[in-house]
Amino acid sequence: MLYREAGDFKTTYRDDGQTFPIRLDRWGYYVTLAVAFGIIPFVINDYWASAVFVPFLIYAIAALGLNILTGYAGQVSLGTGGFMAVGAYAVYKLMTAFPDISIVIHILLAGGITAMVGVLFGLPSLRIKGFYLAVATLAAQFFLVWLFNKVPWFYNYSASGQITAPERTILGHAVTGPASTASAKYLICLVFVFALAWIARNLTRGTLGRKWMAIRDMDIAAEIIGVNPLTAKLSAFAVSSFFIGIAGALLFAVYLGAAEVGEAFGINKSFLVLFMVIIGGLGSIFGSFAGAAFMVMMPVFLKNVLVGSLGWPTDLAAHIELMIVGALIVMFLIVEPHGLARLWSLTKEKLRLWPFPH
Amino acid sequence: MDQFFFAAEVLANGLMTGVMYALVALGFVLIFKASGVFNYAQGVLALFAALTLVGIQQGQIPFAHLINAAFGTSLHHFGWTVPAVLAIALTAGVMVALAFLIEKLVLQHLVGQEPIILFMATIGLAYFLEGLGDVMWGADIKTLDVGLPQGISDAIEGTTAEWFGYGFFIDRLDIWATLIAALLVAALVAFAQYTKQGRAMRAVADDHQAALSVGISLRFIWVMVWSIAGFVALVAGIMWGTKSGVQFSLSLIALKALPVLMLGGFTSIPGAIVGGLIIGVGEKLFEFFIGPMVGGATENWFAYVLALIFLVFRPQGLFGERIIERV
């Protein structure tokens, strides 16, 4: 009754092609933006920022990136952790080499560098498909982590082999380093998420996105109708790696502050982001957000219940968490292989008729 | 000359490691051929099998940690030890039960889904089994001993020292592992060629629908294949567990088995073995010759990069079926 499209007349093609064609969706979007930019920064505290909001926003970027590659272009990648490491180390080298330049530029450049590395490792995708490609991307994952571990130039010859983010400010507010406040960290991530999600949405519904989807659905057929697989696949790798590189840069500089490559960007990170994309929904922008929110919040929730309420030891809780994550993934795939995004659209379908379904 | 002997020794050790990789890869190939599922959980199956074997052998109480946390008790062991042979038989039983449950609870509901979805499901399964293994038997590193000989083989060292003036260090366990792996492969091939179930399995691998139409039960074959894969995982778990202790890193050998598979081709049993040997030897020799120049630990990535480069030239792997695509 409330959620409906009746009476919402479109008189121009522009109206008809907008991202949120239904009025209630549009309002919901504006309200979400208003809350995210106008209210949360003023009430956020350190716990909520570091446990929920900042990791959610950063992983949302990574999930968007992987969703472009896997969900839209159909190229399965298990190298996300490695590409995030490229972003992190690129931003670290840039921050320490050019301390006077704004960190925003550094983060964008780190994304660009990751895009180039992504294209390099994406080259085999022209010959290798499906599972073979998924395993081939593991080469990127393991090689990159090894590289950042073994070549001291990447971590500026620090004794511990760790990289530590120096303090950088935007408009006088520290966003990295120990002096940064919760709301500053939150806001810089939010700005990047907003901009990148906007870019992702508009890329995927344009020419490039349609080329990606044609390649995903069947690459030979796509080639026959005139989609160049070289540019389509490599552009997917480039755009995806750009997003993932920015996520890696933010994860290191803003969220972690200090990182050791094997621990922070190992194979588990690749799987984590892949789960976000699968659980959220392949080929859906909303799904990337939903999946990231789910995978970030579930461990926090479980930890609060198992350790906080029941008082179980943390290692046991961690193992049970593994079991629950695994079971949930299997369950999701059985119940709804298209993820949370599909569940959401089904709910909206139902809401259209509610409360008079006949 | 010394360099040459070192290299030969590295080569021999690489071959032994390759056999271990091939053992894990074998489980992958079996399941992939019969059900088209790319089973990421194979490594965790090996870990789970090894954990269960140690647990049964030492008479641990399953879920002791969980029960203690929930009810405030302090259980840990039944207080008996089970002979190795019986423990292995019991563990094999557990693996069959597990195969049945996986088919019943997971695969049955995912019939006809895209391969990527099935692959994801096995990753979920891997997480679940890893957590389950830890909750059931505890996460501490365990030593596994089923009576396989271990340590440096004195006989080989003596003989080679006599012949070449340089003693080769080869672990007796590796030799046994090679023998057992060879036996296992021979048994599997014989099973697939000469028994009724084996023929049915090959029929399913060839064409699901045609197999169904001549009255082969897909579900039975899947349970059977997963049981066999569980058994192969048990053997792999025993070997790796005896070699380096039963711990989480055991499940990571699954990741090493992936490039082995790619090299050999996903659908070929001989491919898994040849691929395993190439990767085992290749990474050891690379580490020996090139490793010191670039800072070592190249074993982490060499296998993947080798497989990647190889695949660019031959996308279906060494022995894989030629990939034919039609619009």
pLDDT of residue B83: 79
For residue A281, the one-letter residue type is G
Q: What pairs with residue A258 in β-bridges?
A: A164
Q: Which of B110, B134, B261 sits opposite A333 (nearest CB)?
A: B110
- CA dist A327 and B106 (Å) reads 10
Is residue A190 scored above 90 in pLDDT?
A: yes
Name the E strands within A150-257: 163-164, 169-170, 173-174
Mean pLDDT, residues B293-322 taken together = 79
Q: Which of B66, B109, B124 sits opposite A326 (nearest CB)?
A: B124
Q: Which residues on chain B are in Cβ contact (under 8 Å) with A69? A: none
pTM for the model stands at 0.87
Smallest CA–CA distance from A150 into chain B, residue? B295
Q: Which residues on chain B are in Cβ contact (under 8 Å) with A320? A: 66, 131, 135
B125 vs B208, which has greater pLDDT? B125
Which of A134-138, B74-78, B90-94 bottoms out in mean pLDDT, i.e. has the lowest?
Answer: B74-78
**Of all helices (H) and strands (E), which one includes residue A227?**
none
Question: Residue A333 and residue B117: Cβ atoms within 8 Å?
Answer: yes
User: Average per-residue pLDDT in chain A?
Assistant: 88
Chain B interface, best mutation among A66, A121, A131, A150, by max B CB count within 10 A? A131
Question: Tell me: the pLDDT tens digits for B138-163?
Answer: 777 777 777 677 666 666 667 776 77
Question: Residue A135 and residue B127: Cβ atoms within 8 Å?
Answer: no
Distance from CA of B300 to the nearest CA of A (A): 6
DSSP conformation letters of A108-156: HHHHHHHHHHHHHHHGGGGT--HHHHHHHHHHHHHHHHHHHHH-GGGGT
ipTM, two decimals: 0.81
- CA dist A145 and A268 (Å) reads 12
Smallest CA–CA distance from B70 into chain A, residue? A312
Beta-carbon pairs below 8 A across chains A and B: 142
Question: Tell me: the pLDDT tens digits for A129-183?
Answer: 777 788 788 888 989 998 998 888 888 888 888 888 888 888 878 888 787 888 8
- CA dist A20 and A299 (Å) reads 32
User: Does residue A138 sit at the B interface (CB-CB below 8 Å)?
Assistant: yes
Distance from CA of B121 to the nearest CA of A (A): 5
User: Does residue A30 sit at the B interface (CB-CB below 8 Å)?
Assistant: no
Q: How confident is the model at residue A268 (pLDDT cuts 50, 70, 90)?
A: confident
Task: Give the three-state DSSP class for B106.
Answer: coil
Is residue B53 scored above 80 in pLDDT?
A: yes
- CA dist A96 and A133 (Å) reads 35
Say how many residues make up chain A: 358
Question: Tell me: the pLDDT tens digits for A7-31?
Answer: 778 888 888 888 888 888 888 899 9
